[in-house]
């Protein structure tokens, strides 16, 4: 799971957990059926106002030699329909069984990656989990 950071129209930070998949220079996340009051989420409004976003994925362990994080900055857009959205949903379904069983009904957030940053707690530790 990652944490998607966006900026509200008023300029305030907004961070939410999200499921995601990386394909080449893109990250995809979808508005799915997990309990929500609406499919018109604040993050979508935020992207419309300020498309620059950050996704943070980290791993904690009591053995601090195994700590790591990856941060990806990029420019987001929202895909409501079309072939690009369909391909993004296929990529998400390849990673998440729940999406294979029930495709997300909402838009896809597509982030074009502009910068990767990462930190392993030791030089021998690498974030080797699929991001």
| 11-55 pLDDT per residue, tens | 999 999 999 999 999 999 998 876 556 556 899 999 999 999 999
**Spatial separation of the C-alpha atoms in residues 73 and 104, rounded to whole Å:** 24
The model's confidence at residue 6, banded by pLDDT at 50, 70 and 90, is: very high
CATH for 2-120 (3.40.50.1460, 2.30.110.10, 3.40.470.10, 3.40.190.10): 2.30.110.10
pTM of the model as a whole: 0.86
The pLDDT of residue 129: 47
Q: Residues 56, 69: contact at Cβ < 8 Å?
A: yes
The pLDDT of residue 123: 57
The pLDDT of residue 125: 47
3-state secondary structure of 21: strand
């Amino acid at each position: 799971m990652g944490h998607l950071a966006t900026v509200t129209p008023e300029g305030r930070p907004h961070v939410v957990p999200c499921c995601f998949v990386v394909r080449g220079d893109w990250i995809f996340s979808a508005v799915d059926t997990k309990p929500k009051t609406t499919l018109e989420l604040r993050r979508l409004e935020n992207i419309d106002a300020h498309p620059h976003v950050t996704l943070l994925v980290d791993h904690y362990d009591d053995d601090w030699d195994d700590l790591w994080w990856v941060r990806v900055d990029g420019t987001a857009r929202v895909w409501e329909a079309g072939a690009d959205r369909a391909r993004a949903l296929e990529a998400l379904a390849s990673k998440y069984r729940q999406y294979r069983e029930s495709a997300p009904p909402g838009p896809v957030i597509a982030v074009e990656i502009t910068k990767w940053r990462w930190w392993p707690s030791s030089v021998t530790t690498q974030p080797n989990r699929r991001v």
